[in-house]
Amino acid sequence: MHTRTGTRAAAGTGTGARTTGAGAAAGAGAGAPGNGARTGRREQILREAARLFADRGFHGVGVDEIGAAVGISGPGLYRHFAGKDAMLAELLVGISERLLAGGRMRIEEADGPEQALDALVRGHIDFALDDRPLITLHDRELDRLREDDRKQVRRLQRAYVELWVQVVRELRPGLGETEARVAVHAVFGLLNSTPHLGTRGGLPGRDATADLLHRLALGALAAADGDAGDGGDGDRSGDGGGGGGGAAPAPPPG
């Protein structure tokens, strides 16, 4: 199918150079004695580190506090990570790898570009709702990464963007490449707004929030090529035009 081969070629940036992040760590060394417990602890440390870094800032959290959150001594963390910088790198590089790998998988499994786009949107919504601290970390702390890690995050992000651009253009061939890319970035900005929606208790429920974000994202992309304004629904045309003209934020962590 063209969606699969075309998109794969467009997003050919490799991700196999390193295995990082909580999701990537789960698959490392499968079958080794005791590996499951070590991997589970690493994931726990990364999850708590992400939460604390997002809540209080990278420099506002000490190793001892991360250790206390997972029930081990601060120095004990050094059996798993070289330090806070290593944790931050695993979090931000790891989620970028995970989003790209997940996007490729969804496209491979899709039956046509419409289904592929729907799967991409749903997958990114899962990330935006379930990994909100990582969005905050990306916005605040990306520049704290070492240069090579920061460049890797950007490479992975560009590849992830191109997956979306390819699918959007296959679904809407009249949309230019630049317009498609701006529209994709704008949709990422919409979906990645979840850290600003208040506490989890303040949201209308995960399923309801996911459904709302899904409708908004697909509606924005449908309006990007102007087709929504050609029919009789004048109100919808006005809304779509306003959403499509928003600023394009940086790609998601991931």
- Name the maximum alpha-carbon separation found in the chain: 65
Residue 228 has pLDDT above 80, yes or no: no
Neighbouring C-beta atoms of residue 237, cutoff 10 Å: 17
User: Measured on CA atoms in the order 161, 166, 172, 177, is the torsion positive or negative?
Assistant: positive
Q: Do the Cβ atoms of 25 and 45 come closer than 8 Å?
A: no
Tell me the per-residue pLDDT of 21-49, one tens digit each, with 9 for 90 and over.
333 333 333 333 445 556 688 999 999 99
Tell me the per-residue pLDDT of 122-180, one tens digit each, with 9 for 90 and over.
999 999 999 999 999 999 999 999 999 999 999 999 999 999 999 999 999 999 999 99
Q: What angle do CA 247, 253, 254 make, to 5 degrees?
A: 115
User: Measured on CA atoms in the order 164, 199, 61, 70, is the torsion positive or negative?
Assistant: negative
- Quickly state the pLDDT bin for 197 (edges 50, 70, 90): confident
